[in-house]
Structure 1
Amino acid sequence: MVSSSVMALALLLGGQASPPQTTQLQPDPQPTEAQADLGEVTVLGRSLDSRVESFIEEVAAPPKGVGLARWHRDVCIGVANLAQPYAQFVVDRVSEVALDLGLNTGEPGCKANVMIIFANDASDVARRIVSEDPDGFRPALQHTDLGRDALDRFQNSDAPVRWWHVSLPVSADTGDLAIALSSDDEPPSLTVRGSSRLRSGIRNDLARVIIIVDMTQLGETRFSALADYLALLSMAQINPDAEVSSEASILSLFNSGTLQDAMTDWDMNYLRSLYEAPGDRPNPAYQAREIGRVMVRSKQAASDAGGD
């Protein structure tokens, strides 16, 4: 797949999100919108608060010492090495989730900041794009990614889907880049106005997401389910080692005996809570608690209204 890899590199390293022309995947060209209600797995003896706390602890994967990042600018989705109808289906699904979260999506031809690459030689592609743009994967600023060891795992993973998130610490008031300290053990610092015990004045913005799909490991995975999986990864920093079993989640797509059909209400509640909760709390634990509170409040409101 020399031509495919070259195309992926061109898109990832600053190219535009244009319609890809090659494909190895041939699903139904008219994938239907998944509407299945998967419900939830009820764990007896555990409160909703406990379930939410456990889920966030399991799936959230921010860089060391900082809070979870989210998008605060237009999201532009690029898809490489997939024929146009299927690439457009992925772009549309990721865009749909982004719009649901209150984000704007880029126009056709925009510079991709979410790059989804389909490949038969996923590890080779991963190693190639990292070697071509090392600063893009690990910027000079501290606390923007999961670190050198995690990047090595990204390049050599045998998972069906692998991903890499880059975030930047910025002023919550102006969006200006924060000044990172030299020590790996210290969070970024910035002189801000209005900081307090409840508000640091610094938030973390997603800057780049790279996802590589190993087409040789998809098996009988439904294309619509895969698109939902990719949409969730595009919007949030997810732990690649997360084993979600206690709650119905699209994140169990590749580690569960039961194939999920779509992103669940639990998944969307998590994303909406991540984007609704304040992002400039003084420490990661405080932010996680805020996200949890929003999730619990939303679930309880849905229950009171006769929902799940």
Structure 2
Amino acid sequence: MVRWLGLIAALTVAGAGPALAQTPPADQPGQDPPVSTLDEVIVSGRTLEERAETFVDEVAQPVNRRGLARWARPACFGVVNFSGDAARAIADQLVARADELGLPAGELDCEPNVFIIGAVDGPAVARAWAARHPGLFQPRVSGTAGRPSDLRKFVSSDAAVRWWHISLPIDVDMFTGETQPAVRLPGRGPPIIDVYSRSQQASRVRDDLVKVVVLVDVEKLEAITTEQLCDYLLMIAYAQIDPEGDTADYDTILNLFEDPTVPGLTDWDRSYLTALYEADPTRRAGVGAQGDRLAAELRREEPPANPVGP
């Protein structure tokens, strides 16, 4: 994947003398003043739009041949297997943060569709889980989940947090607003619109998140606070995030486990989610389109160059 190298400025002053020419001493009236040489200044950078598109390219992981999915109905958090009151604290914080950002979130007693499970041996739990419930990770429906290679990475990962998204292409009737799956489901007849049929045009199809599974290895959380963890979980619960995305050059909560000083969601994170959820869901949200929207949101977040005030 493309990696933004950022804005690099190199400025070198040659010699050990001062940067500015000095007046010659009075007893040497004919001597030319010393001259300092300024080496070539090299500035290379990319526009905000280019940076935003590269960020999206790094973090977004839609299902193959599909657009970026999001929640059309409220996300409902089921948090289990944490000690003491930690599970309730995590669920409360997730709902509060989602409400703050205007993201769809259900009540605390709703039926879960985002499952956050604590474990003391993440790899072992992931292996057992994938072996016992293969249909949870790889439904027999096109366009809903990652590839088998993605599942193998999920199982073998040593990350503190790992996740798996299930989404579904949805046909939206442009006159009535009624919805139905845009792919063939087991036990059902063919859909009116099939996104994978070459003979049909699916111009009003959106991609809906329907389930997210998150496994948290509690032994690897170390000094991470509940607030930091919840912001990290919020990002991966509401967007299809690539666990292998290189975000080192960006200010994002996704760097939390490489940089525990990240306090929480950043402008990049909030703008990414806002751009994703304010877009027309039936206009396929590819990397380029999401990058443009992200750049627009970031510009809106920037303070004025010369703020007026006391």
Instruction: Tell me the TM-score normalised to structure 2 length.
Output: 0.74
- Matched-pair contact (CA < 8 Å) for 1:60–1:238: yes
Residue in 1 aligned with 2:146?
Answer: 146
Q: Do structure 1's residue 213 and structure 2's residue 216 form an aligned pair? A: yes
Residue in 1 aligned with 2:302?
Answer: 303
Q: Deviations over 1:57-87 (max 9, x none)?
A: 0000011111110000121101111135322
Q: Please give the residue correspondences for 1:84-103 in structure 2 after superposition, counting only pairs within 5 Å.
A: 84-103=84-103
Residue in 2 aligned with 1:14?
Answer: none
Structure 1 residues 175 and 98 mapped into 2: Cα distance closer, same or farther (>3 Å)?
Answer: farther
| Letter paired with 1:248 | D
Residue in 2 aligned with 1:17?
Answer: none
Q: Do structure 1's residue 116 and structure 2's residue 116 form an aligned pair? A: yes
| Letter paired with 1:214 | D
Q: Do structure 1's residue 47 and structure 2's residue 30 form an aligned pair? A: no
- Matched-pair contact (CA < 8 Å) for 2:54–2:291: no
Q: Please give the residue correspondences for 1:1-308 in structure 2 after superposition, counting only pairs within 5 Å.
A: 43-44=7-8, 45-173=45-173, 174-180=178-184, 188-189=196-197, 200-256=203-259, 259-281=261-283, 287-303=286-302, 305=304
| Letter paired with 1:292 | G
- Matched-pair contact (CA < 8 Å) for 2:91–2:108: no
What is the alpha-carbon distance in structure 1 between the residues aligned to residue 128 and residue 86 of structure 2? 25
For residue 223 of structure 1, report the CA deviation from its aligned partner.
2.6
- Matched-pair contact (CA < 8 Å) for 2:71–2:104: no
What is the alpha-carbon distance in structure 2 between the residues aligned to residue 247 and residue 213 of structure 1? 24
Which blocks of at least 5 consecutive residues in structure 2 are unaligned?
A: 9-44, 186-193
Instruction: Give 3-state SS (helix, strand or coil) of 2:167's partner.
Output: strand
What is the alpha-carbon distance in structure 2 between the residues aligned to residue 265 and residue 135 of structure 1? 37
What is the alpha-carbon distance in structure 2 between the residues aligned to residue 96 and residue 172 of structure 1? 30
What is the alpha-carbon distance in structure 2 between the residues aligned to residue 229 and residue 59 of structure 1? 13
What is the alpha-carbon distance in structure 1 between the residues aligned to residue 104 and residue 270 of structure 2? 17
- Matched-pair contact (CA < 8 Å) for 2:166–2:211: yes
Higher relative contact order structure (alpha carbons within 8 Å, sequence separation ≥ 6)? 1
Instruction: Give 3-state SS (helix, strand or coil) of 1:146's partner.
Output: coil
Q: Deviations over 1:90-141 (max 9, x none)?
A: 2123223433454443333322100111110212222222233222211111
For residue 187 of structure 1, report the CA deviation from its aligned partner.
5.5
Which blocks of at least 5 consecutive residues in structure 1 are unaligned?
A: 1-40
Residue in 1 aligned with 2:12?
Answer: none
Instruction: Give 3-state SS (helix, strand or coil) of 1:225's partner.
Output: helix
Residue in 1 aligned with 2:14?
Answer: none
Identity, % of aligned positions: 36
For residue 169 of structure 1, report the CA deviation from its aligned partner.
0.6
How big is the alpha-carbon RMSD for the aligned residues of Structure 1 and Structure 2? 2.8
| Letter paired with 1:156 | S
What is the alpha-carbon distance in structure 2 between the residues aligned to residue 225 and residue 236 of structure 1? 17
Residue in 2 aligned with 1:22?
Answer: none
- Matched-pair contact (CA < 8 Å) for 1:76–1:112: yes
- Matched-pair contact (CA < 8 Å) for 2:267–2:298: no
What is the alpha-carbon distance in structure 1 between the residues aligned to residue 211 and residue 79 of structure 2? 14
- Matched-pair contact (CA < 8 Å) for 2:170–2:181: yes
Greater share of residues in helix? 1
Q: Deviations over 1:223-278 (max 9, x none)?
A: 3211111111110000010121221000011134x531111111010011011122
Structure 1 residues 279 and 101 mapped into 2: Cα distance closer, same or farther (>3 Å)?
Answer: farther
Q: Deviations over 1:8-53 (max 9, x none)?
A: xxxxxxxxxxxxxxxxxxxxxxxxxxxxxxxxx9735221011101
Instruction: Give 3-state SS (helix, strand or coil) of 2:196's partner.
Output: coil
What is the alpha-carbon distance in structure 2 between the residues aligned to residue 243 and residue 103 of structure 1? 25
Structure 1 residues 307 and 253 mapped into 2: Cα distance closer, same or farther (>3 Å)?
Answer: farther
- Matched-pair contact (CA < 8 Å) for 1:222–1:261: no
Report how many aligned residue pairs link the two structures.
Answer: 256
What is the alpha-carbon distance in structure 2 between the residues aligned to residue 294 and residue 100 of structure 1? 20
